[in-house]
Every structure is written in structure tokens, then in C-alpha cells.
Chain A
Amino acid sequence: MKKISTFIIAFIIFTEFSYSEFSDDLYIYGAAQTIFLNENFQQSFSQNQLQQGGIIGQRIDSQDTSFNKNRNSFMTQQVNLFVNKFYEDKLNFFFDMQFNQNYNSSEDLGSFSIQEAWVNYKLSNQFQIKAGQLFPAFNNLNEVKNRLNLLNYLFRPIVYEKILSDVISSEDFIPETAFLQLHGQIPISNFFIDWAAYMGNSEGSFLISNTSPSSDGYLSGSDPNDLEKKLYGARIGLRTKKENFKIGVSGTRDYNDGNSYLKILKLDLVNDYPVLPIEDQLRYRIGADLSANYKGFSIESEYSFSHMEDIIFKNSEFNIYSSDECWNRFYYVNLSYDINDDIFTYIGYSEILIGILNFNSDSDYVTLGAGYRINPWLTLKAQFIAYQQQVDYPILWENPQGERRPRLQTMKLKNSITIVGFSAQF
């Protein structure tokens, strides 16, 4: 790994110094999306006498307990700044900074991150090398997931939506980042065959953070795992030269961070009980995507399935969790229609199914929305989302005799969200 890191750093430094004297084009541009969000939130539980931990963290004593809340908020959902520097015609450097959710460091609000920072060397259109932090080619949306100005919607399909990043771990479904990608497009008649193969770190949660209790001598931000536990992936696709039809299949192999599940289990399932560490699991993701447009109508869709090897989870007191089936599934379909050059409307459906141990979650949403392009740089958008989630999960329940037994708990969540906002690019 050290050799590869050294090579990448050397490659970037070499290209930077070698080509800087020939530089001719620098582009700086960006995009922002500001929203007003109304959320009606209902949550209910079908068990009594339970201890609910995690985000809610309160005791619920009555049967069929439910919450009903209504929230309204203005928010700078996301601002991106892009820098693209071209050196001659074969090489360019790209940088993408992102500010999320009313970012303010002094108030500890939102987040700021480097989303991408890479160098692309184009040997030919058929063969290119991209090195640095990048969004890897996977399905339809992954490479443009944070380019909100390119998307019709305000609220992205579930796994891509940053507002839900505290609730849903996108890495269970898609590879978030890679660090080295070979890719290209091969022209055949009226089509291009797109191909990509890449590698990177497995999961963001593997990275050593500044607050890690023990970094074992590793640098903050680095992944201490060896090459065996890295991400390896590929996509092959076909698209017309007019880009009105695109289809592809993707696949990755990496490792799931067992400790991230441990965190979930500890927080939400067995809050009071110590648990043993879970091993990291080998994980495969398989994806497929299809997009097409014709006479103002356009459809985009993708499907992702991930499977992890067996998880054996033991509670120090009870051996209650074990399973040989650990899988996640996600898909979305979005149908848009351009009423004219300026006004568009769409309807979409997205679903996530999670099956980990005895934890099963089924979330879906139906959405509809519309937008008005005031000019090429500014678009007004409105969207309604009816989101619901049902989660079945085991809890340790203490009966009146003081005996603790595993029980299955069902939580239902209904959420209707109305968002209006604008997307601007500059």
C-alpha cells in the first residue's frame, strides 16, 4: 500500500511540476441549493415496556406509542465549489469542495468536506487514468450524486441524500469514494462502450479520525487496513453518442466495517448490554442502471444489491444474534417530462431493504415534483416526498419477574416532506 501511495503522490507532484509551465485553462465554478423544508413526522411502536435507545433515547411505557411532529426549516442544503485546471489536452486537475446544511464551524453546524481531488491523464479517449480522491463509476448517479444543479430533484434517491446520512449508511449500497481509476470510452457505431476499474478504501468508518482513542501510529484520515481489505470495483456500460440511452452493470468487492454495525446494535438494540466486537465482513455489491429519454420524457433508474458474509454477533450474556444472510437492496425509478424548455415535472419511487441479522428494514418513498428554469443558471424546484419505514429489530426485554428475553420490536415511521427551493450554478 505504501508503494502505491508513494506512486500516486509522486505522480501528482510530477505532473504538477512538469506541466505547469504549459498551463492554459483554469475554470472555477460552483453550485448551490437553498431550501425551505416542511416535515410531518409520525413514529409508532408496536411493543410495550421497551427500552428504546439511539437517537430518541427515551423510555416508552405504553402500548402503541406514537409521536407526531411537524417541523419547518430554511436551509442552505449544499454549496459546492469546483476548480478544474487543464494542462495541455491530456491532463487536468479537478477539485470539489462541499458545504452542507447551513455549515458554520463556529456554531458546529453542518459539514465541510473535500469530495473529490484528482488528476486525470488521458492517454486516449479509450484509456484514461484518474488518481486521487474520486467518485467511482457505479450505476447511474454515483459520479454526479452531489451535482445538485444537474438533478431535477431537491431530495435525491434515498441512499444519495445527505440529509439522511445519519439514518442510512450509503456505503451499504454504493461505493462512496475510490482513489485510482482506469477508465475510457470505446466508440462502436452509434454507441460508446464505457468501462472503468478502480480501487480505494473500503469504508469511511475505517479511517482514523482525530478523536480515535488509539490510532496505532497511523495518520489521521488514513485507513490502516491492508490491500486485502480495500475496495475493488468496475463498471461496464453502453450509451448512445447522443446520450439518450445508457445502460450498465457495476460490481464491487470490499469490506464492511463490523464496528459500524456494532455501533448500531449497541445504540438501537441492546443499549444496556455490553457486546463483543464483530469481525469485518467481506462484501459484494452488484448494480445495474438504465436511463433513456425520448420526446421530452426521460426515465432513469438503478438497482443495487449488496451481500455480506456471515455475521456472528454475540452478546456477553445472550448468544441471541446470528445469521447467515446479510444483504441490502436499493432501487429507484424516476420518470420526468419536460413540458417545455423551461418547465419540467417528475414522479419517482425508491425503496431500500436491509436484512442484517434479525434486523429488517423496509423503507420507501414516492415523490413528485416540478421545476422552472428561470435562466440557464437558476432553477426553482418544488418536491413532495411521502416516506415510510418499517423496522423489525430484536430488543432485550425485561419482564416483571426480572427475566431478560429477546423480543421482536416493530417501529413504523411515516414522513411527509415538502421542499421548495432553488438551485443555482455560477
Chain B
Amino acid sequence: MKKIIIILFTILVSSLANSQVYVVVNTSVESDSVDCEKLLEIYTLNTNNWDDGGRITVIDHKGDENSKSVFYECIKINQKAVKKIRLKKLFTGSAKPPKSATSDLEILDLVSKTPGAVGYIDKNSLDTSIKNIKVVAVLDI
């Protein structure tokens, strides 16, 4: 029994360690890389402009996908805190809420169609045939 638990635990840890998230943006964004600090500012709605001055459209997962927990762990903030910060900004009129998507495919679709958009997806969901998107960060835990 102990062996089984150890094996299961090892599989779980290794699968988590291999969790990778791609941060994708619309090709209208000039930057080719975005660091975690900037992503934190973007996803807490503390900034709405890229470094080149372009407008940021934030796209987030609606549900509780694995990529979502990996993403927020990488930018070092918990989802509950993000919700609270966004709610405060929404109700004080200082920011608009992010667009939400129900799947990685929808995120890719929205990013490709929206200039300045940013989203994140599981690495296995990347579809290179979709135009107007580029990967600007690879996050893993």
C-alpha cells in the first residue's frame, strides 16, 4: 500500500512539475517577452497599457482550469486575492473587468482577434495554425 501511495505521489509531483503555461498575446503587441511582474500588474488590473503604449485587453479563464492555478502560482498571487482586487477596481470605477473564456481554444480565438489582447493557455493547447498570436512567456512550476 505504501509503495502505491509513493508511486501516486511521485506521479502527481512530476505532473505538477511539468505543468507549463504559455502566455500568448496578439501580434499587435510589440514586446516579444513579458515578465511575471508585468503579468501581475496586468492581471490585477493595475495597468492597462503595454510598454509601447498600446491598450491591453485582459483575457482570463472563467472556470478553475489547471492552467489557471499554474498561472497564478507563477505570478505569485492567489486567485482569491485577484478576485478581491478586481472587484474593488470594478466598483470604484477604476478598471473594467477582464474578458473571460471557457476554454484554451476560446482564449486563442479571442487573442487572435483582439489587438493588444493577452491570455494564457496550457502548453498542449497551443495551435500554431492560428494567426495573429505569439508566445511571450513560458511559465512552469
Enumerate chain A interface residues (CB-CB to B < 8 A): 25, 27, 29, 31, 82, 84, 86, 88-89, 92, 94, 96, 116, 118, 120, 122, 124-125, 143-144, 147, 149-150, 185, 187, 190, 192, 241-244, 293, 341, 376, 425
| CB proximity of A126 to chain B, nearest CB, Å | 10
Judged by a CB distance under 8 angstroms, whether B87 is at the interface is yes
Judged by a CB distance under 8 angstroms, whether B67 is at the interface is no
A92 and B81 contact, CB distance less than 8 A: no
A242 and B87 contact, CB distance less than 8 A: no
Judged by a CB distance under 8 angstroms, whether B26 is at the interface is no
A241 and B41 contact, CB distance less than 8 A: yes
Q: Mind listing 30 A-B residue pairs with CB under 8 Å? A: A29-B90, A31-B91, A82-B93, A84-B96, A86-B96, A88-B55, A89-B49, A89-B55, A94-B93, A116-B93, A120-B94, A125-B48, A125-B49, A143-B92, A149-B87, A149-B91, A150-B87, A150-B88, A187-B41, A190-B37, A241-B37, A241-B40, A241-B44, A241-B46, A242-B44, A242-B77, A243-B81, A243-B85, A293-B81, A376-B83
B91 and A144 contact, CB distance less than 8 A: yes
B92 and A341 contact, CB distance less than 8 A: no
Q: In this complex, what residue of B is CB-closest to A116?
A: B93
Enumerate chain B interface residues (CB-CB to A < 8 A): 37, 40-41, 44, 46-49, 55, 76-77, 80-81, 83, 85, 87-88, 90-94, 96-97
Starting from the known contacts A94-B93, A118-B93, A187-B41, 11 additional A-B residue pairs (CB-CB under 8 Å) come to A29-B91, A82-B93, A92-B93, A120-B94, A124-B49, A125-B49, A149-B91, A241-B44, A242-B81, A243-B81, A376-B83
Given A25-B96, A84-B93, A187-B41, the answer on whether A144 and B88 have CB atoms closer than 8 Å is: yes
Q: In this complex, what residue of A is CB-closest to B55?
A: A89
The CA-CA distance from A341 to B80 in the complex, in Å, is: 8
Given A27-B96, A242-B76, the answer on whether A150 and B44 have CB atoms closer than 8 Å is: no
Chain A residue contacts of B55, Cβ below 8 A: 88-89
Chain A residue contacts of B37, Cβ below 8 A: 190, 241
Q: In this complex, what residue of A is CB-closest to B89?
A: A243
The CA-CA distance from A176 to B38 in the complex, in Å, is: 35
The CA-CA distance from A330 to B37 in the complex, in Å, is: 37
Q: In this complex, what residue of B is CB-closest to A135?
A: B92
The CA-CA distance from A325 to B90 in the complex, in Å, is: 42
Q: In this complex, what residue of B is CB-closest to A148?
A: B91
Across the A-B interface, the 6 shortest Cβ-Cβ residue pairs: A94-B93, A89-B55, A147-B91, A84-B93, A242-B77, A243-B85
The CA-CA distance from A298 to B80 in the complex, in Å, is: 13
Chain A residue contacts of B81, Cβ below 8 A: 242-244, 293
Chain A residue contacts of B88, Cβ below 8 A: 144, 147, 150
A125 and B93 contact, CB distance less than 8 A: no
A82 and B91 contact, CB distance less than 8 A: yes
The CA-CA distance from A247 to B55 in the complex, in Å, is: 30
Question: Of B41, B44, B77, B92, which is within 8 A of A144 by CB?
Answer: B92
Chain B residue contacts of A86, Cβ below 8 A: 96
Q: In this complex, what residue of B is CB-closest to A27?
A: B96
Chain A residue contacts of B77, Cβ below 8 A: 242
